[in-house]
Every structure is written in structure tokens, then in C-alpha cells.
Chains A and B, each alone.
Chain A
Amino acid sequence: MVEVKNLSKRYGDHLAVDNLSFTVDKGQILGFLGPNGAGKSTTMNIITGYISATEGSVKINGVDIFDEPEEVKKMIGYLPEFPPLYPDMTVKEYLYFVADLKKVEKKKRKQMIADIMEATKITPMADRLIKHLSKGYKQRVGLAQAIMGYPELIILDEPTVGLDPKQIIEMRELIKDLSKNHTVILSSHIMQEVSAVCDTVMIIDKGKLIISDKPENLSTRLGATGGLRLSVKGDKKVIFEALKSVSRINKIVRHAYVNPGVVELTVYCNENEDIREEVFYALVKANTPILEMQSLRMSLEDIFLKVTSSSKHSSLQEADGNDAEESVEKEVSSNAGDI
């Protein structure tokens, strides 16, 4: 459906998008994840034909955006970072204008606008001036604009910015609904959003693709850190002595106390090894009951921080390799600080 090849965009000396390639299949939801200024909006602007690429090609249904922009633009609905609204129009006027602009057939127009207003829950605002709407409603009118004409590909740049938690959930549901009949590309810097909605997540930073996978794979792929988080009741020395008997443990990190008499610690072993039973029996032998035991697994948030904060993330291998150890330690120590 969408085929992006070796896309680059250069502004003077600054490389906003750097050799980006990906494909999106029909009916999928692709999420761009990245910090501010990562090149998410630039990429979207290129796909929609708003700006040109310095190099590379974008094809939608096999049609190149540079060769036949009008043809491709018919297939795309776009909600940019700032919803493109005319403040002096009412919601209804605006949607009629957009329908007209996108060449929706006259007969279907009325019904389509009513349906879209219903779906985006802006029907009660139909006759209000857009400048009088709250940010959340403006965002939804922007979304309504993007869906207008039911294009095959819908591109949403940070669709949930400015919405309250309830609206965010509604928006996610709406996006999921849309994906039944449309292909969706959305961008966000919020992790839960992407993991809740998307089929595929692409993490980009400084214009480069860092990693691209399913959200659940991402956490197993990067999240296996090999270790356990423990709360153990008993004396510190006894517990440490007992754990030392477990040979496969590489490192033990103790955290600050929460309750007196309870030791909070994290033990590390090699990745993909299961030491839970050994730890359990060792501590039972020492007569120190385990109150809590949890495998270390990174959330998408951690993965995101991990891959975007390392300075030399030119390839996935590097992020997977040496850097991982370092960031994990950082992450754990910051956790210790919280407790």
C-alpha cells in the first residue's frame, strides 16, 4: 500500500530525514515514535506531498507522489501537527468546504459529513465557529477533515495532543475503527498510545530508523534483560549470603528501604536464563521469605529511552549489544532513587 524507499530530506546542512525505508500493508496501523524533532512530521509531510524529498521515493498503491501528485493526494487524508482550520468558519461550513475541495460527490456529501461528525463526536458543535472550540474539539474537527472522502490512507500527526484522557481513549478507539477499512500512519511521542493502537512501531531519531517491529516483539526483543526484582523479608546479610550461593547470579543491586525488615533488591543473570527457582530455594533455605518476585522486562517507554538516548545508535546491533547493559543500569539506579 505504502512504499517508502531511501527517503532523505536535507535543509541546508541539516539532515531532517536520513535514508528512511519502510512499507505499510493495507489495513495496518503504523506508528512513528520519536522524540520532538526526530523527523516524524517531515516524513509525513513528504508522504502527503506537502514538501518534497531531497532523495528517495514514496509510492502509494504503486503511484509515485512526485510523478502524479493529484492522483496520490486523492488517496490520502492528512491531519497535520496543527489542524488546518479556518477560525471564521463554522464546523459544518468547514467540512462542506473540505468535502468540496476533496471532490466528494455532491449526492453523498450531506450523508458523509453527518456520518463523520457522528464518528468524531462533533455533531453538537456543528454550528459553532471553529475559533470558539476547545483544543480537543479542534483536534477532532481536524480528524474529521482527514477522514473526509474516506481515503485509503489516513495520516495523523500526533492525533491525541491536547485531548483529555477520556478523549484520548475515544480517539484511540476511533483510530482502531478506522483501520478496519483504511490504512493508518500515525505519529506520537507517547508510548502507551502507540503500543495500544499500532500493529507496527517504528522508532526514529534524528531522521534515522532505529528499530521497527510489532510492539509486543519490541519488548521481548529489547526487553529481555535477564534479572529479577525481589522483595525479601529478613536480614540483609543473611539474604546476601544466601544469594551468593546461586552461581548464575552476576550482580546484586540493593535498593533503598521501604519497610524495615524488608530488603528490596535486583539480581542479574545472563539474558534468557531462568534463575527464579534457584533463587526461591536459596532464600527458602536461608529462611527468608520472598514477598515479591518479578522478572525484569522493559516497557516500551524504557526501550524508547534506551534506543533514543544512546548517542551511537547507528544500527540496531549496537543498541542491542553493549549499550544495553549501560542503559539498564542507569534505569535501575534511577528506579532506586524513586524508592
Chain B
Amino acid sequence: MLAIYKKELRSYFNSMIGYVFMAFFLLIIGVYYFFNNLMYHLANFEYTLSLISFIFILLIPLLTMRLMAEENKQKTDQLLYTAPVTATAIVAGKFLAVLTILSMVMGITCFYPLILSRYGDVQLSSAYAGIGAFLLLGAAYLSMGLFISSLTDSQVVAAVISFVVFLFTVLMDGIAGMFSSDNKTAVIVFSVILVLICIMLYKMMHNLTVAIGVGVVCEAVLLTLFFTNPTLFDGSVRKVFSWLSVNTRYDNFTIGVFDLSAIVYYISFTVLFNFLTVQVIKKKRWS
């Protein structure tokens, strides 16, 4: 794992990507910090961070696009998968490498609240909790980017798909609000999602019976639930969509609340996607 970690980290700083990422990220944070905190005398650095969570959409794909896609393309995956390391170690090494780069950026921003505290009363604990949560938010995006990168052997495809998916998670909150909260809409929306999942299943497994079987069984469960207990579905679309809304979990931190559920959410999200990446690598062997 350490070998892959070191290799990845070195490759970011051998090429320009590592520097570009850090420079651009720090520039944006710096600009927002300057205007919000220094010019307009706002004491909350965590609030400034919440304003710039959108740059993850742009910058994380830059960092994660090459992680697995490039290995697949250069056929160096053959070296990794035939070396005495587990798939988990490979994914962990790669994930920790990108996480380290993000941590470097967040590490530098740790000075910002300190600078503010020289000019007045700043609640440092909530500022640092905000920085920590922001790092975890980034980690969630990184794990998703790593997962998407493992699905393809083209960096560009990985970057574009990551970008679209990230954009979707940000817009998710707004989209969820547009659905009416009655239970019939919910059943229809879930059925559509089910169909999409079945199509994806078919694409991945090339097995029509399994895909249709899963679809029919799940739809049957869905309808039985609907007819036996329709109130279960009230407002459920919003609930489900907001599960996927990664960004809104940060909101509590901006008002100085240490939201443990958000921390748990981010960590489980990250673990889940890293787990999925490991599965993609393992599946490759069996295809």
C-alpha cells in the first residue's frame, strides 16, 4: 500500500496537476477569505468554506480522473494486480494519496482563523470543526471520483462523468424540492429509478433474466408496500434524494453546530465508494 501511496503522491508533483490543484484551490479560498472575512469583517471562516464547496465539482475530477483510468489505459494495472498486494491496498494507497493532497490545502487554511483571531473574537473550535468537515466532504467526493475513474480507461471520460455526477449531487437538493410529496408520485419515481437500475445491471452483467428478475421482484415489493402502508411513502422522494445530497450535510457546520450525523455520513459515504472501487477491481478479474 505504501508503495502505491508514494508513487501516486510523487506522480502528482512530478506532473503539474498537484501544483495546479493546490494553487487554484488556495487561490479561490484566498479570494473568498479576503472578501468575506477580511474586507467585510466576518468572523466565521466555516461560513466562507460553505460558499466555496462548489469548487469540489471542478477540482476533484482533475485530481481523481487519472487515478485508475490511466492504469487501465497504460496496462500498468497488470503490474499492480499481479503483484503481491490486495485490491484493497491498491485502492487505499491511491485514495490516501489524493486525500493527502487535499489535506495539504486544508492544512494551509488552518492558519486563516488564527489570522482572524488577531483582530477580534473568533470561535476557533467551530472554525476548525468546519475545516475538518470540509475535508471530509472533499474525501467523499474523492472516493466517488476514484470509483468513477476505475470504471473507464479514459481520463477524459472519467473527468466528464465525475463532473456530471458531482453537479447532480449539488443540484439534488433543489430537484428533490420540486417533486410533490404525495405517495403516488413517490411510487412512480421509485419505479423509474428501478428501471434505470435494471438497465445498469443488464449492462454490467449481460444477463437479461437476472436484470428483469431483480426488477420484477423489487417492483412487487414496492407495490405491496404501497398498498399495505401508503403513508410510508409520504415525502419519501425528498428524503431519498436528500440522502444523496452531499453538500447540504455541511450546512450545520456553517452555523457553528458540530453535526455528528454529517461526519458519520461522510465517512460511510467514503468507505462505501472505496469499497465499490475495490469491487470493480475484483470484478475485472472475473469478467
Contacts and interface: CB of A to CB of B under 8 A. Distances in A.
Nearest to B6: A100
Contact of B3 (A74, A85, A100): A100
A101 B85 contact: yes
Interface in A68-85: 70-71, 73-74, 76, 78, 80, 82, 84-85
> Interface residues of B: mostly helix, strand, loop or mixed?
helix
B8 to A, nearest CB: 10
Contacts of B39: none
> Interface residues of A: mostly helix, strand, loop or mixed?
loop
Interface stretch (A43-51, A205-213, A224-232): A43-51
A84 B14 contact: no
B74 interface: yes
A163 B77 CA distance: 24
A81 B76 CA distance: 11
B117 interface: no
Contacts of A100: 2-3, 6-7
Contact of A52 (B3, B15, B286): B286
Contacts of B7: 86, 97, 100
A249 B98 CA distance: 78
A49 B82 contact: yes
A87 interface: yes
Interface residues of A, number: 29
Contact of A102 (B14, B84, B86): B84
B58 interface: no
B285 interface: yes
B137 interface: no
Given A51-B285, A52-B285, A100-B6, A87 B82 contact: no
B15 A88 contact: yes
Nearest to A80: B78
A139 interface: no
Contacts of A93: 10
A51 B285 CA distance: 4
A80 B82 CA distance: 10
A45 B284 CA distance: 12
A70 B287 CA distance: 20
Tier of interface size on chain B: 20 to 34
A74 B82 contact: no
A24 B83 CA distance: 21
B11 A102 contact: no
A98 to B, nearest CB: 7
Contacts of A87: 74
Contact of B84 (A12, A70, A85): A70
A65 to B, nearest CB: 10
Nearest to A103: B84
B51 interface: no
B188 interface: no
Given A50-B82, A101-B80, A102-B84, A84 B75 contact: yes
Contacts of A84: 74-79
24 contacts: A12-B206, A49-B81, A49-B285, A51-B285, A52-B286, A70-B84, A70-B86, A73-B83, A74-B84, A76-B82, A78-B78, A78-B79, A78-B82, A82-B75, A84-B74, A84-B79, A85-B76, A86-B74, A87-B74, A88-B15, A97-B7, A98-B83, A101-B83, A101-B85
